[in-house]
Structure 1
Amino acid sequence: MLQEFETEEAGRATNARNGGCESYNLSLILPSSSLNNLVHTWLSEDLPSFDYSGTVVGSRKEKALLLCKSPGILAGCPFFDAVFEHLNCRVKWLFSEGDQLTPVCTVAEVSGEVNRILIGERVALNCITRASGVATKARRLADLKRKSSWEGEVAGTRKTTPGFRLVEKYALLVGGISTHRFDQSSMIMLKDNHIWSVGSISSAVKAARHAGGFSIKIEVECRSIAEAREAARSGADIIMLDNFASELLHSSAEMLKNEFPHLTIEASGGINEGNITKFFGPHVDVVSLGSLTQGYECVDFSLKIHKEGVDPRNPTIKENFP
C-alpha cells in the first residue's frame, strides 16, 4: 500500500460501540478487489476520455492538503487511499479514521504528479465527504444509545445511494452503529409485498426457509401483534414491528419475548434522531432507520495544492500553514 501513517494507530477506525472504548481496524473489512473495481468505475465515469486540464498543469511532483472545513467524524479513508493509490500518489494521514474533526484543519497530505492528483481529487472528495457525513450522524445516534444505557443495536437500512453502498455502509460502522443487512442476499426479509403476493405470512416463511436453509435468518415485517405471532409460530428469527407507536411497541415487544424468547425484535418506521430514544427499551433488540444513509448530510472537505508560504485556506494570504 502506498499510503503512509504518522503513528501505528493512525488509520485505525474507532468503533463507538460500548461508549467508544474499543478500537478496530475496520479497513480490513473491505476486500481489495471490491475497492479496485469501485475506483475503476468511479474514475472511468469522471474521466471517460481525454484529460484536457492535465495538459495545463503537467506532470511535475506536487503536494496537496486535504482540509476539513466543517465539524464531523472522519470516515472513508480506505476509499480515499484507493483512489490515489490507483493513480500512483501517496497519502499521509494526520488524523485517524473515526476522529472528531474541528475546522479548519489539515487532515491529510497527498503527493504525486499534479495531473494525477487532480484526476483523483473530485472522486476522492466525494467518497470522504459522504462517508464522513454518514459517520457523523451515526456517531450522534451511537452517543444517544450510550447515554440511554440501552444494550440494543441502532442500524442503518438498505436505503443507500446506488453504486455507493459499500462507502455508506462502511461509514455506519465507523460511526459506531450496525449496518443491518448489507444486501438482499445477506438475510431474507419478508415485507408486505412478499406476503401479499404469497397470500399469508406462514406460507411466505415456509418458502423462505426452504430456500435459505439453516444458515440464513428470516425477518418478517409485521403491522400488528397478530401478524407478529403468526410469523414467530412459522419460524421467523426476527420480527420487525413496523410503524408501531413507542408505547404500543414496548408492550408488544414484551408480550412477544415472553411467548417466544428466541425472537429478535426490531422497531422500524417513523423513527428519527429526534425521537429515537423513545424506542429504546429492554425488550427491543434493534432500532432501524433509513435516514442515516438518505439525504445529503456531508462534512465539507477540500483538496488544495500546497505552495510554501501560502495559506491554502486563502491563497491571497502569504503565511505558512501547519
Structure 2
Amino acid sequence: MLTDSDIERWLREDVGHHDVTNDVPGETTGRLVAKEAGVVAGLDAAAAVFDYLDVAVTERADDGTLIEPGDVVLRVEGPAQAVLRGERVAVNITGHAAGIATKTDAAVAAAREVDEDVRIAATRKTTPGLRGVEKRAVVAAGGDTHRLDLSHMVMVKDNHVAEMGLEGAIEHFRERASFATQLDVEVEESADAPLAAEAGADIVLLDNMTPEETREAVDLVAESDADALTEASGGITVETVPDYAATGVDVLSMGSLTHSAPTLDLSFRTG
C-alpha cells in the first residue's frame, strides 16, 4: 500500500534542499496528457502525490483505460509551486506504470487470440519500493499479480530440489506451509512435471522450456492422476506468447512485464 512516507521520499529526492526552479507565485491548473497510445495506470499514485501537496485532483481517467495521443488523463488545480513540485514525480510514476500496463495489455491480447483461458502473470522481478504500483498496473491491463511477496506462495525451486530431491522438497514445504498456501514447484524437464504434480504440487512451473517441451509437459500432467495447474516461465516475450498459449498451459509468467516495459510518453502542462 502506498504511504505518505513513500510520497515524501519521492518528492524529497526530486525537490532537494533548495528548490528555486518551482518558486512560482499564485494558483494554476495542470493536466497530464498522453503523447502516445497505450493503457493508462498509476493514476492512484499520481493523485496521491498531488493530494499530499494539497493540490486538488479535479478529473482523472480510470486505470486500465485505453488512451490516444492528446488524451488528458489527470487534471489538477492549486498553488503553482505545489503543482510544479508534484508534476515530475506524477509524470514519472504514471509513465512507468502505464508502460507496464501497455505491455501487459499486448501480452493478454496475444494470448486471447489463441486461448481465452490462459492467464498472463507478473513475477517478483519488480523495482524495490514500487512493487505495489507495478503489480496494480499489471492488473489494470488484465494480467494476474502472481504472488505479491514470499509469504503468498511457496515456490520450490531448483536449489531446493538439489538439496532435498523433488519429492523430499515438496514434502518438506508442505509440512511447513498453511493449508491455505499453495506450492508452486519448478521443473526443468518435461518428464519431471507429472512427478511434481503427483507428489503434491498445486502448480507445476515449467521453467525455460520451449513451446514444444511445454506442450509435452502439460500433456503429461493432464494424463497423471493429479489435479495441478501448469505454469510456463522463463524468457517468454509478447512475440512468443501465442506459441506458449497454444500448448494448453494455464499460466504464462513474464518477468519482462515489470522489468523491461518501456515508459509510456506523457507530458504535464499548466495553465
TM-score bracket relative to the smaller structure? over 0.9
CA RMSD of aligned residues (A): 1.8
State the shift of 1:262 in Å. Answer: 1.1
Map 1:178-193 to 2 at 5 A: 178-193=144-159
> 1:199: Cα distance to partner?
3.0
Tell me which of 25, 28, 35 is aligned to 1:69: 35
Match of 1:277 in 2: 242
Q: How do 1:218-233 and structure 2 match up within 5 A?
A: 218-233=183-198
Amino acid in the other structure paired with 2:174:
R
Q: Please report how far the alpha carbon of residue 115 of structure 1 lies from its aligned counterpart in structure 2 after TM superposition.
A: 1.0
Shift of the alpha carbon at 1:44?
A: 3.0
Residue in structure 2 matched with residue 294 of structure 1 by the alignment: 259
- Which residue matches 1:312? none
Q: Deviations over 1:46-104 (max 9, x none)?
A: 335343334x313x211112121111111111111111111111112253322221112
Q: Which residue of 1 aligns with 2:59?
A: 93
Distance 1:37 1:253 in 2: 45
In the TM superposition, what is the alpha-carbon distance from 1:295 to its structure 2 partner? Answer: 2.0
**Equivalent residue number for residue 42 of structure 1:** 10
Hey, what does 1:243 align to over in structure 2?
A: 208
* C-alpha spacing 1:233/1:146, structure 2 compared with 1 (3 Å): closer
* Correspondence for 1:28: none
* 1:150 alignment counterpart: 116
Letter in 1 for 2:180: S
Deviation track 1:132-151 (CA, whole Å, cap 9, x = no partner) reads 11111111112122222331
On the 8 A contact 1:70/1:301 being kept in 2, the answer is: yes
1:57 counterpart (18, 24, 48): 24
Q: Partner amino acid for 1:291?
A: S
Contiguous gaps of at least 5 residues in structure 1: 1-30, 307-322
Displacement of 1:121 in angstroms is 1.2
Residues 91-240 of structure 1: pairs in structure 2 closer than 5 A: 91-93=57-59, 95-196=61-162, 198-240=163-205
**How far apart, CA to CA, are the structure 2 residues paired with 1:211 and 1:143?**
38
Q: 1:270 to 1:108 in 2, by over 3 A?
A: closer
How big is the shift at 1:257?
1.6
Task: Tell whether the 8 Å contact from 1:257 to 1:283 is kept in structure 2 after alignment.
Answer: no
State the distance in 2 between where 1:264 and 1:204 align.
19
For structure 2, the 5+ residue unaligned runs are none
TM-score when normalising by structure 1: 0.79
User: Which amino acid in structure 2 is aligned with residue 275 of structure 1?
Assistant: T
The one-character-per-residue Cα deviations of 1:25-62 (angstroms, maximum 9, x if unpaired) are xxxxxx4xx343422332233335343334x313x211
Shift of 1:285: 0.7
- After superposition, give the CA deviation of every residue in 1:191-247 in whole Å (9 maximum; x if it has no partner): 112322x23122222221122121111111101134323322331111011122212
- Deviation readout 1:104-125 (Å, 9 max, x if unpaired): 2333221111111112111111
Distance 1:94 1:88 in 2: 16
Q: Which whole-Å CA distance do the structure 2 matches of 1:185 and 1:52 have between them? A: 45
Q: Contact 1:221/1:239 (CA < 8 Å) preserved in 2?
A: yes
Alignment-mate amino acid for residue 208 of structure 2: N
Paired-residue identity, %: 34
Partner SS, residue 259 of structure 2: coil
Q: Is the 8 A contact 2:232 2:249 kept in 1?
A: yes
1:135–1:171 CA contact under 8 A, matched in 2: yes
Contact 2:198–2:224 (8 Å) recurs in 1: no
Cα distance in 1 for partners of 2:160, 2:216 equals 27
